[in-house]
Amino acid sequence: MVEEIQSKLFYLGINDRQSDFFEGQWPLPHGISYNSYLLSGEKNILIDGVARSATEEWLQKIEQIIPIQELDYLVVNHLEPDHSGSIPVLRRINPEIQLIGTDKTAEMLKKFYSINSGVKLVKSGQTLQIGDHKLSFYPVPFVHWPESMVTYCPERKLLFSNDIFGSYGSLEGGLFNRETALRHRDSELLRYFSNIIGSLTTPALKALEKLSKLEIKTVAPSHGPLWKEDTEQLFKLYKEWCTMQGRPGITLIYGTMYGYTEQLMEQVARGIASAGLKDFTVIDIARTHPSFALAEAWRRRGLIIGSPTYGNGLFPPAQNLLEMLLNKGLENPVAAFFGCHGWSGGAINKLCKAADKLDWEQPVTPVKFSGEPSSDELKKAFSMGQTVATNRSLIGG
């Protein structure tokens, strides 16, 4: 079925529940949607394509509205293959269709699909009257590729936002944010942000500033639900995540080989709970993909990591997460570390160096021990949890 979401505006998106990973690395337990739209009228305009694997179903949806040969334009907001993989087949069926994008889009179309003609270039803020539709174009470079742009329909107050405000998760029974499954919606929105946009917060903030000047009633991203209510809250959330404010709470992440580091983790957790802090979660990093751990670290202001030493460094699953935190440049957490070693330590040193590089606040001395933790070391772990949970930078005030 094709849904007409506004007059002459059709949703052509495809739910992908078969792919296990996005970009070959981010788990998709609830799938993902590739969102595409059609503005019909005097001129017929596609907004975004879909992944190559979804092309046949996408073309069938278009044919339910108009013949493919009657399409006049395709707005290419982003050239990443999950958005553009359908372009070569579309151009073979309709070689007259014009592609709209930035100069960088044109350059990349040559490299990805050997397309050298039929591309209409637009500049920042340029508005085109295309038949009975008016569209304005705003490049948002590096959110998250250099050619990325968004498209605004001023008459509808509608923003085709590309990857900005995108989310993991297929659309379950509805297209709009209040129609979709709440149990997944909010967590998958944040996980997508931390995984995909997290390392690009500076250009994302510039994009938010540019878009805040527009009157936006509906947001239509390239992945996940559309938003026709709560758009102000959506912008607020993105600004919070871009500035890495985090909410008062603690994400407690640990890895353990033989249970010794886990003993300390239990005491840290008890210390947090004894301080009355309600928002904290415990993650076993050996059993949790870093995609999820990264999102939880982004969600809260407090971050406590425990790891045994492994080969003079971190336990490999913890090392993988730490490298991801460094790559994404997560700033501002109130952090603390604990861990064990057999004969020589290295895990805590690695964690402290990363914290110094990212300028993390460390209100308590790391707890490290050799062998099995003593009663005194367990008490220090309990105190660590209390200290972080009552830190003024974390709880405010």
| Domain ranges, ordered by start, for the chain | 3-242, 250-389
Residue 122: the pLDDT is: 97
| Class at the top of the CATH hierarchy for domain 3-242 | alpha beta
Kindly write down the DSSP assignment for every residue of 65-113, as one continuous string. Answer: TS-GGG--EEE-S--SHHHHTTHHHHHHH-TTPEEEE-HHHHHHHHHHH
Which residue, 297, 309, 326, is CA-closest to 256? Answer: 309
Q: Are 135 and 128 in contact (CB under 8 A)?
A: yes
pLDDT along the chain (397 residues), means of 10: 92 96 96 97 97 97 97 98 97 98 97 96 97 97 95 97 96 84 78 96 96 96 93 94 94 96 97 95 97 97 96 93 96 93 84 94 94 95 97 78
Please tell me the class of the 250-389 domain.
Answer: alpha beta
pTM above 0.85, yes or no: yes
